[in-house]
Structure 1
Amino acid sequence: MEQPQVNFGDQLVTPEEKTRKVGAVFTSVARRYDLMNDLMSGGMHRLWKDRFVRRVKPRSGEQILDMAGGTGDIAFRMAAKGALVTVSDINPDMLGVGQQRAEKRGIDNLLWQVENAETLSFADASFDAYTIAFGIRNVTDIPAALREAHRVLRRGGRIFVLEFSTSDWPGFGEAYELYASKVIPRVGEAVAGDRDSYQYLVESIRRFPRPERFREMIGEAGFVRAAVEPLLGGLVCIWSGWKI
Structure 2
Amino acid sequence: MDKVNFGDELVTPEEKTKRVGGVFTSVARNYDVMNDLMSGGMHRLWKDRFVAKVKPRSGESILDMAGGTGDIAFRMAAKGAAVTVSDINPDMLAVGMERAESRGIDGLTWQVENAETLSFGDANFDAYTIAFGIRNVTDIPAALREAHRVLKRGGRFYVLEFSTSEWPGFGELYDRYSEHLIPKIGKVVAKDEDSYRYLVESIRRFPRMEAFRKMIEDAGFKSTSVEPILGGLVAIHGGWKI
Structure 1 position 36, deviation (Å): 2.4
Does residue 169 of the first structure (1) align with residue 167 of the second (2)? yes
The match for 2:184 among 183, 186, 197 is: 186
Structure 1 position 43, deviation (Å): 1.5
The 1-side partners of 2:38 and 2:7 are apart by 15
Q: Does structure 1 retain, via aligned residues, the 8 Å contact 2:126–2:152?
A: yes
Letter in 2 for 1:192: A
2:54 maps to 56
Q: TM-score, normalised by structure 1?
A: 0.98
Structure 1 position 190, deviation (Å): 1.5
The match for 1:13 among 11, 32, 35 is: 11
2:233 maps to 235
Structure 1 position 37, deviation (Å): 1.4
Runs of 4+ that moved beyond 4 A:
none
* RMSD between aligned residues: 0.6
Structure 1 position 129, deviation (Å): 0.1
2:224 maps to 226
Q: TM-score, normalised by structure 2?
A: 0.99
User: Matches of residues 50-89 of structure 1 in structure 2 within 5 Å?
Assistant: 50-89=48-87
Letter in 1 for 2:38: M
Q: Deviations over 1:55-95 (max 9, x none)?
A: 00000000000000010000000000000000000000000
The 2-side partners of 1:39 and 1:222 are apart by 37
Size of the aligned set, in residue pairs, is 242
Structure 1 position 108, deviation (Å): 1.0
Identity, % of aligned pairs?
A: 79
Structure 1 position 209, deviation (Å): 0.2
The 1-side partners of 2:58 and 2:10 are apart by 44
Structure 1 position 52, deviation (Å): 0.2
1:195 maps to 193
User: Matches of residues 102-181 of structure 1 in structure 2 within 5 Å?
Assistant: 102-181=100-179
1:28 maps to 26
